[in-house]
A and B are shown apart, each in its own frame.
Chain A
Amino acid sequence: MNSRSLLLSPNPNSLKSRFTKGLLRALSRINKHRQQPRSSREIRKRHRLIKAAAYGSMASSVGNRRAWSRALLWKIRNQTRRGYAATRNIGSSTRQLSMKKRICDLQKGNNSKNRVEVGGLGQVDKLRRLVPGGQVMHTCSLLEETAHYMKCLATQVKVMTRIVEVYNIP
């Protein structure tokens, strides 16, 4: 399989190539010891691992430059350290953090710093839940992170489709 070489050509340092390398490495690591998974439980486990590998390699290739990648890396590291249940806690704890932050903000500048301007209909909250690390960001930076996150997601999807193609031709 040469999917890595398939995707690397133009710019070896681009996000896509970095992501591809990381993902393939993780995939090979995941696949190294296992036989073909027969039980659904195994498949689910592998699915989780592969998903974590995808997001993890994406976040690693982005590095620490973006808040969402930092949050994602942190989440994955904690996830592997403490087990899968930890991910749920992390979500709630960040939410608590964000609530505290909001309270502080509101107390500080009551009328001046009104952080809920983009009311929408709770859309900004939805967005916060979608983007990793979005709970503690201000709306303005949230939008910026969303844009970058979308771009990286699209790259991820492209790379993974290619990999799947190479793996599963029929």
Chain B
Amino acid sequence: MDPTAGNVPGSAVPGPDHEEPGLETLQFREEIQRLITVPPDNASSFTALLELPPTQAMELLHLSPESEPNPAPAAVSGEPPLLKPCAHPFNSSLTFPSNATLIERAAKFSIFGGDQSPETGAVPSNPGVNLEKVKSEPAESDSNPNSSQETKSNQRSSAKRKEREKKVKVSMKKSKIEAKEDADKIPYVHVRARRGQATDSHSLAERARREKINARMKLLQELVPGCNKISGTALVLDEIINHVQSLQRQVEFLSMRLATVDPRIDSNLDHLLATESLSLMQSNFSSMAPPIMWPELPINGNRQQYQQQWHFDALHQPGWGREEDNHIFITPEASLISCNSSANSASLHTGHVKTEL
């Protein structure tokens, strides 16, 4: 699974390992320039090989090529040109991984090398230029100022830059770059960690887990009103806990209110009303649209209402004119149903009932 046109690490050794630094640098520079021009169209071919999801790999791809190689800082002699973070617009075919986890992983995985596609025509003059998979270096991780303010690409590029520096300094044998002419499957993924972060499989898993948790926390922040401004996990969690507690208390309070209310017989009422009124609701809605004045609340209003409902429901033959009751019930219901609003509609209903009574 050799990705194409990836970042070429500083210690990239064209061909056989451990060339002389000077020659290597030159070759490396050429190599980089050629690789940079590799269009990311190869993404589809080799992303399948990658054990990464395609979006990740494509993202990586696009991060690696740059518009132009920077002149290497003088920090390290013979350091290959820096690969600036490319601000160039991604191809439309690219989909930036939205998942924070993927972004994180993509940052961790610095895949070097690239497919020597014929499009480049840039097969390095040195026939031995090979982009190999990068071996994970457990201990050797440059310390990346892992500031979250940096953009991911900046992070990655700076990390890779520094890694490259370090590589060039330290050793050449840690990573090789080999060109892959065709799709070769790689049994496992080698990882290069960011500066200052271990490449332990454990820590990688931890990081992935942390990313998941952070994503969920963001979701929760959006749900809880007023949590967007709060920063910091602890405070946000406090807010969430308060919110859940308040909701639970509200449910309890409401259930207490329901418990103290008068019990009534309304078993079939809803069902009947729902089925009956649905058909008429459309027609009646417009007539009921204008809100009716909130009637004075008689003391016995409830009782009357309940009685009426009870009769309507249980007997279907109320002594006092079924039609009007039907009408009464249906029209306010229509408005209620359609409005789906709050106390206003409730008042509509009761107002009508009372006036008719």
Chain A interface residues (CB < 8 Å from chain B): 1-10, 24, 27-28, 30-32, 34-37, 43-44, 46-47, 49-51, 54-55, 109, 111-114, 117-118, 120-121, 123-124, 126-127, 130-131, 139-140, 143-144, 146-147, 149-151, 153-154, 156-157, 160-170
Q: Are B241 and A117 in contact (CB under 8 A)?
A: no
Q: Are B258 and A167 in contact (CB under 8 A)?
A: yes
With beta carbons under 8 angstroms apart, the residue of B210, B223, B254, B333 that contacts A157 is B254
- Stretch of B87-95, B139-147, B151-159, B345-353 with 4 or more beta carbons under 8 angstroms from chain A: B345-353
Q: Mark B66-83, 1 if CB is under 8 A from A, else 0.
A: 000000000000000000
- Known contacts A2-B274, A164-B258: does B206 contact A130 (CB below 8 Å)? no
With beta carbons under 8 angstroms apart, the residue of A2, A46, A149 that contacts B336 is A2
Q: Are A127 and B240 in contact (CB under 8 A)?
A: yes
Q: Are A169 and B223 in contact (CB under 8 A)?
A: no
Q: Are B224 and A27 in contact (CB under 8 A)?
A: no
Q: Which residue of A113, A146, A165 has the most chain B CB atoms within 10 A of its CB atom?
A: A146
Which chain B residues border A120 with CB–CB below 8 Å?
A: 233-234, 237
Please give me the residue from chain B that is nearest to A148 by CB atom.
B223
| Bound CA span A27–B305, Å | 18
- Known contacts A140-B209, A153-B251: does B244 contact A131 (CB below 8 Å)? yes
With beta carbons under 8 angstroms apart, the residue of B216, B234, B251 that contacts A156 is B251
| Bound CA span A31–B200, Å | 62
- Known contacts A140-B216, A143-B216, A144-B216: does B234 contact A5 (CB below 8 Å)? no
- Stretch of B36-44, B130-138, B174-182, B261-269 with 4 or more beta carbons under 8 angstroms from chain A: B261-269
With beta carbons under 8 angstroms apart, the residue of B265, B309, B337 that contacts A6 is B337
With beta carbons under 8 angstroms apart, the residue of A51, A111, A117 that contacts B209 is A117
| Bound CA span A146–B254, Å | 21
- Known contacts A6-B340, A7-B340, A140-B213: does B260 contact A150 (CB below 8 Å)? no
Instruction: Report, nearest first, the 5 A-B pairs whose CB atoms are least far apart.
Output: A112-B202, A143-B216, A31-B263, A4-B270, A153-B247
Q: How far is the CB of B240 from chain A (nearest CB, A)?
A: 7
| Bound CA span A159–B85, Å | 53
With beta carbons under 8 angstroms apart, the residue of A37, A121, A143 that contacts B259 is A37
Q: Are A47 and B256 in contact (CB under 8 A)?
A: yes
Q: Are B224 and A150 in contact (CB under 8 A)?
A: yes
Cβ of B293 under 8 Å from chain A = no
| Bound CA span A139–B297, Å | 51
Q: Which residue of A6, A46, A127, A161 has the most chain B CB atoms within 10 A of its CB atom?
A: A6
Chain B: interface size category: 35 or more
| Bound CA span A144–B219, Å | 8
How many inter-chain residue pairs (CB < 8 Å) link A and B? 187
Which chain B residues border A162 with CB–CB below 8 Å?
A: 342, 346
Q: Are B213 and A139 in contact (CB under 8 A)?
A: yes
Question: Do most interface residues of chain A lie in helix, strand or loop, or is the interface mixed?
Answer: helix
Which chain B residues border A7 with CB–CB below 8 Å?
A: 340
- Known contacts A9-B340, A43-B259: does B241 contact A118 (CB below 8 Å)? no
Q: Mark B191-222, 1 if CB is under 8 A from A, else 0.
A: 00000000011100110011011001101100
Which chain A residues border B263 with CB–CB below 8 Å?
A: 30-32, 34-37
Cβ of B301 under 8 Å from chain A = yes
Add 15 more A-B contacts to A2-B269, A3-B270, A5-B277 (CB < 8 A). A5-B278, A6-B333, A31-B266, A32-B265, A49-B259, A51-B251, A51-B252, A55-B251, A112-B202, A113-B205, A144-B219, A146-B244, A157-B247, A168-B302, A170-B299
| Bound CA span A167–B260, Å | 11
Q: How far is the CB of B98 from chain A (nearest CB, A)?
A: 17
Cβ of B250 under 8 Å from chain A = yes
Q: Are B346 and A166 in contact (CB under 8 A)?
A: yes
Please give me the residue from chain B that is nearest to A28 by CB atom.
B267
Would you mind naming 15 contact pairs between A and B with Cβ atoms under 8 Å apart?
A1-B269, A4-B270, A5-B273, A5-B274, A5-B336, A8-B337, A117-B209, A123-B238, A127-B244, A140-B209, A143-B216, A150-B243, A160-B258, A162-B346, A165-B346
